[in-house]
């Protein structure tokens, strides 16, 4: 509460609220295919189109991929046209894509759904709009709090996993897209009414140039941070989107029994949605905790801890046949530590690139989205090639081990160069 009191009389609270709901709703829509994955696969199968696991992975990963790339595009648009105009145009595209799926209904083809999935990337790219718009209104001392509030996007994702499968069971999965379009439209109106771009006297926009990105991409530290965020955010969003498909494919009987016992549900698609929501919520609520731990012990040490626990938990899931309850617990630990690692990465980035934080958010954010895409595709390939997910999990654990080794490689240099002047724990 003390932190929120610091916002009193500062900035523009309606814009901060508008940025939060825009970002939260956008991320729920960005990942909408995740909670509906098994319903969509079943619907296509009934229509005679049997998806391979690779095709399922392509469908789930396409919004993540386009969202990652569009973050840079929307970042330039924010500079040129302003955050509000950029957000409103992007939101109209998202609403149109949702209605496109709904009105095609049961006649929709796989390629048409891929096209809609591509457009859903505009929702994921909201990262590059909401955070700068909120942050521009507030002084440097409040940036952590403000961006933490505006960036609480995965609460919407968890809500999507809780309610979407039930709506799909009763009314059909296409109706979830209609509900998304209705909520997105209400959010569009609310955002248009409340949000304002910061005036020049409050924040003078430093327009990004392509050369800014090129310069930072030549810096080796940029690539280290990209690797770390590929693990933390890429792992979080990748597992979050793919986890329901994994659970329904691997543990159908166990979830059926669990649902009947605890939820009076015999629909494993609904039961799996609850478990995925729990895992996503763990990582979301613990993200600021991860940043706080990094503040106290240093971002490098914090990432050592979080990445090691992620590597161990993923490796256990790959190599040991666990009962259903333990599998969920292991994924809970995995997602919790990935969420805390997200916070730790962004404890370090502003200290290293304090003068280029806007550009770095775009670069590192895009890398994280690409990491999520790669994870989803790797798991799909593993299932098709080896009739199981073991190889996919082991590859992710191996990449995480590379990141841990990278921390050992850079820690001395970071602590004895820019870390000495950063003012925070490294």
Question: Which of 2-11, 132-141, 217-226, 416-425 shows the lowest mean pLDDT across its residues?
Answer: 2-11
* Number of domains making up the chain: 2
What pLDDT, on a 0 to 100 scale, did the predictor assign at position 148? 63
Q: Which residue has the tokens 């600021």?
A: 288
In this structure, are 184 and 320 located in the same domain? no
Q: Is residue 202 part of a domain?
A: no
What share of the chain in percent tops pLDDT 70? 90
Q: State how far the Cα of 31 lies from the Cα of 310, in Å rounded to an integer.
A: 22
What pLDDT, on a 0 to 100 scale, did the predictor assign at position 107? 94
Q: Is residue 74 part of a domain?
A: yes
Q: Is residue 308 part of a domain?
A: yes
| Nearest in space to 310 (alpha carbons), one of 347, 276, 279, 341 | 341
| Nearest in space to 276 (alpha carbons), one of 318, 243, 312 | 243
**pLDDT per residue as tens digits for the range 93-122:** 999 999 999 999 999 999 999 999 999 999
Q: Is residue 4 part of a domain?
A: no
What pLDDT, on a 0 to 100 scale, did the predictor assign at position 288? 79
| Residue 277 belongs to domain spanning | 211-426
Q: Are 179 and 101 contacting, i.e. CB atoms less than 8 angstroms apart?
A: no
In this structure, are 159 and 254 located in the same domain? no
**pLDDT per residue as tens digits for the range 399-417:** 999 999 999 999 999 988 8
In this structure, are 315 and 409 located in the same domain? yes
Q: Is residue 148 part of a domain?
A: yes
Q: Are 152 and 25 contacting, i.e. CB atoms less than 8 angstroms apart?
A: no
Q: Is residue 205 part of a domain?
A: no
- Report DSSP letters for 250-268, one per residue: H-HHHHHHHHHHHTS---H
Two tokens at 385?
Answer: 């090639």
In this structure, are 306 and 157 located in the same domain? no
Residue 144: how many CB atoms within 10 A of its CB?
18
Query: Could you give the C-alpha distances from 187 to 114, 127, 141, 316, 406, in angstroms and in order?
Result: 25, 16, 29, 42, 42
In this structure, are 171 and 305 located in the same domain? no
Q: Is residue 360 part of a domain?
A: yes
In this structure, are 231 and 370 located in the same domain? yes
Q: Is residue 158 part of a domain?
A: yes
Of 165, 195, 225, the last residue of a domain is 195
Q: What angle do CA 223, 74, 206 make, to 5 degrees?
A: 80
CATH number of the CATH domain containing 381: 1.20.1250.20
């Amino acid at each position: 509460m003390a932190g929120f009191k610091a916002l009193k009389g500062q900035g523009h609270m309606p814009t901060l609220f508008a940025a939060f709901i825009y970002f939260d709703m956008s991320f729920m829509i960005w990942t909408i295919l995740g909670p509906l994955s098994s319903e969509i696969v079943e619907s296509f199968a009934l229509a005679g189109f049997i998806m391979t696991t690779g095709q399922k992975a392509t469908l789930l990963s396409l919004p993540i991929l386009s969202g990652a790339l569009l973050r840079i595009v929307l970042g330039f648009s924010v500079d040129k046209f302003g955050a509000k105009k950029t957000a409103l145009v992007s939101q109209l595209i998202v609403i149109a894509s949702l209605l496109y799926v709904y009105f095609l209904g049961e006649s929709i083809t796989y390629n048409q759904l891929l096209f809609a999935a591509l457009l859903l990337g505009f929702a994921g790219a909201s990262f590059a709009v909401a955070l700068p718009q909120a942050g521009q209104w507030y002084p440097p001392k409040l940036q952590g709090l403000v961006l933490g509030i505006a960036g609480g996007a995965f609460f919407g994702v968890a809500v999507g996993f809780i309610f979407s499968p039930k709506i799909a069971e009763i009314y059909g999965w296409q109706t979830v897209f209609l509900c998304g379009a209705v909520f997105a439209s209400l959010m569009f109106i609310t955002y248009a009414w409340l949000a304002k771009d910061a005036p020049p006297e409050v924040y003078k926009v430093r327009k990004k140039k392509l050369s800014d990105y090129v310069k930072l991409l030549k810096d080796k530290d940029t690539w280290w941070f990209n690797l770390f965020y590929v693990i933390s955010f890429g792992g979080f969003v990748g597992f979050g989107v793919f986890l329901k498909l994994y659970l329904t494919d691997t543990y159908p009987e166990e979830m059926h029994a669990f649902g009947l016992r605890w939820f009076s549900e015999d629909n494993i698609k609904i039961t799996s949605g609850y478990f995925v929501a729990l895992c996503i919520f763990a990582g979301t609520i613990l993200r600021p905790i991860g940043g706080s731990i990094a503040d106290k012990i240093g971002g490098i040490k914090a990432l050592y801890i979080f990445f090691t626990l992620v590597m161990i938990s993923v490796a256990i899931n790959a190599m040991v046949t666990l009962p259903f309850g333990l599998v969920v617990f292991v994924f809970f630990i995995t997602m919790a530590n990935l969420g805390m690692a997200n916070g730790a990465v962004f404890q370090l980035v502003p200290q290293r690139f304090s003068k280029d934080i806007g550009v770095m958010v775009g670069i590192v954010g895009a890398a994280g989205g690409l990491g999520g895409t790669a994870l989803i595709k790797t798991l799909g390939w593993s299932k098709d090639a080896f009739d199981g997910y073991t190889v996919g999990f082991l590859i992710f654990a191996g990449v995480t081990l590379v990141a841990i080794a990278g921390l050992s490689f850079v820690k001395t240099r970071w602590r004895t160069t820019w870390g000495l002047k950063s003012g925070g724990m490294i």
